[in-house]
Amino acid sequence: MEYSRITNINNPLFKQMHQLMQDVFPPEEVLEFDLWKEPLEDPGIRVFVAVLDGKVVGATEYRYYEDFNVAMTDFTIIGQAGLGIGPFLAQKRLVDLHELAAANGKTLSGMFAEIYDPYRVDHYEFGGVKPMDPYVRREVLAHLGYKRLDFSYVHPSWNNDGEAVTGLDLCFLPMDVEAHELETDLIVKFLKRYYTVLPSRPESWYTMIENLEAKEKVDLLYF
């Protein structure tokens, strides 16, 4: 299996990856094909696919913020079970992120990720791929060391229509396994930076930010 970076919308592997996203994710979570041009060319956004026999069988997008010294996993896609795609992507991604942090003169402090809460959202099939089932994914994140940030999370729809997407938790993987809380200043700065690309945000998103700004720290909880 190969770990191949995509930096151009004309890369033949990107068409396969975008189709895989449509097969797996709900429509509001998939950015239109043409709108990927700038993100793919952005050196700070890292899009990699797992390629087996010329076919894209998995993908992950993530980014490293040098000034925050944290990463964000935008998504991980496992195209089919039984190939070890999940561990392959997770391991390759972490090696890459540690190298990016080292080049920044630091040791990676942690990584954000979003995850559906299957107890609130249970109607998505995720392409019928069992490893993508929210119950399974939450268990995988828990085993990797992720913890749930203790606040009601809202994110703007990737359709950029100002609609709120709920039923998700924002999680964080601390490299310090003993960490049990996270400073809200980091969370707020990260969220404002991350969603700059979506100018149309619901009022509930701004309310969430205001509530966070009123606190100093947020607890990291087990799933």
- pTM of the model as a whole: 0.89
Structure confidence at residue 127 (pLDDT): 56
Task: Divide the 223 residues of the chain into consecutive groups of 10 and give the mean pLDDT of each group.
Answer: 97 96 81 91 96 96 97 92 92 97 98 86 59 75 91 90 91 95 98 92 97 97 91
Structure confidence at residue 125 (pLDDT): 57
Structure confidence at residue 153 (pLDDT): 97
Beta partners for residue 50, in sequence order = 3, 58
In angstroms, the CA 206 to CA 48 distance is 32
Structure confidence at residue 69 (pLDDT): 98
In angstroms, the CA 209 to CA 212 distance is 5
Structure confidence at residue 122 (pLDDT): 58
In angstroms, the CA 188 to CA 124 distance is 29
Structure confidence at residue 50 (pLDDT): 98
Q: CB 215: neighbour CB atoms within 10 A?
A: 13
